[in-house]
Chain A
């Protein structure tokens, strides 16, 4: 097999690589906590974060082990540094030493997320996974979201079944719900968003290079909060980060199966 040209010769990052960088940034300065990525791009991103600016992060093998090395996504780990079966994992969630990046079948402007079902819960039009751990995650440890295909079907005015709790729902539920509630950021294939507005409505933080504000507005099913400044582009990966993504963490290019943009 021919090896790709070294990263120095090709510094043009793909959309998937911008997504990896944007997701990795979610775990910056998190310290010694578990990075729990759901999906391929967040998995690559958590490993990149650990290899670069957040070396203290804990990672799992996706099953019951904490891994002490950083193998490529999909490859076996050689070093075990801990045991984290589901019962301990749930305890860790409730203890707050974790920052999860979950997926979302629907997500609204206040960060309410749905992975349970589409349509009326009592007779859903489309049954999905169920709420899984979204209620416990969102009330107990920092949560971010990854949406590989930004569309009005995902970014909706109101979710059909609140699985992950948004800012308005947490506030309505009272101080026990807001005590540890902390939605950090949303990364999609089009841009990066946070909830740093007075009413915690979702706000555009950066556009991935090649994406326009109009494109994001069209793809979002609610009026998006947009700051009154020139919106920056998602930062460029460094040559070393590109090398790590391409040669170390995701040599099989799995990221391109999740993000289908050039």
Chain B
């Protein structure tokens, strides 16, 4: 499949999970394909980074479920910030661990999982739909019942995969990509390199096999597909480009120019990668 094939399977109004964390191993090639499509009105579930920023700037998000949105080395995501400050979408703000429980419940077909987090915080005030649950055991503790985060589709980016959908991460952190795939009705993996199954564990331990084909619907090979976020060990974050992105995002005219250059509606992922290489040559 190509990124555009995958996005062709998505529909407006869907609940869409996006893997990675902040500005790390985000399925950016798939997000870019989404920007080229007319899919909109999305409920996005994400430990947010520039995936959220780009989709928010393009007006594709109706509801955002998140614990944060950040570029990591640049703490505040400018598009996310601007979208929130103009009331561009509905926000379901959860704590990081509440979010993890929600994904786990979604993967395990449970209606909710309990957690202590949230009690006493304004997370419960701003999400009046959240309920508490009382332990049926002797302790009788009252805990937050985090509702399952169940999704129509999930998008994740991994270092390697085979054509069956077995996906491998080679960096130090799996983030929550396996849970995203398992908590979604359909899941799509983009990868740096598509390889034969035998090659996956030829040079890496089997526990690097993060997602399994039974929880994956489609795979696409997108070298540089996490750019400009990190995809360790294949590459780190493109800090100069991220800085250019954040600078442009803070100004409407600069952002229009950035979009025209890097994210034109008629462009392809290859065009994007070429434009980035050209930009880097100019910076020298």
Contact = CB atoms under 8 A, between A and B. Distances in A.
A176 B141 contact: yes
Given A86-B176, A129-B76, A131-B67, A136 B120 contact: no
Given A131-B68, A133-B97, A174-B142, A139 B117 contact: yes
A176 B85 contact: no
B80 interface: yes
A173 interface: yes
A135 interface: yes
A123 B89 CA distance: 10
Contacts, number: 138
A176 B98 contact: no
A125 interface: yes
B156 to A, nearest CB: 15
B119 interface: yes
B76 A123 contact: no
Interface in B151-207: 171-176
A138 B121 CA distance: 9
B172 A136 contact: no
B172 A83 contact: yes
A163 B117 CA distance: 10
A116 interface: yes
Given A170-B120, A173-B119, A175-B141, A86 B173 contact: yes
Contacts of B76: 127-129
Interface in B80-96: 80-81, 84-85, 87, 93-96
B94 to A, nearest CB: 8
B248 interface: no
A177 B176 CA distance: 27
Interface string A48-87: 0000000000000001110000000000000000010111
Nearest to A83: B172
Leading 6 A-B pairs by shortest Cβ distance: A136-B117, A173-B120, A130-B68, A64-B172, A127-B84, A136-B97
Given A90-B100, A162-B120, A163-B122, 19 more contacts: A85-B172, A85-B175, A86-B173, A94-B117, A116-B122, A117-B84, A122-B126, A124-B84, A127-B76, A127-B81, A130-B66, A130-B68, A131-B93, A135-B121, A136-B117, A162-B122, A165-B120, A173-B119, A181-B120
18 contacts: A64-B173, A85-B174, A87-B100, A90-B100, A94-B97, A123-B87, A124-B85, A126-B81, A126-B85, A127-B85, A128-B76, A130-B67, A136-B95, A136-B115, A140-B117, A169-B120, A169-B121, A179-B141
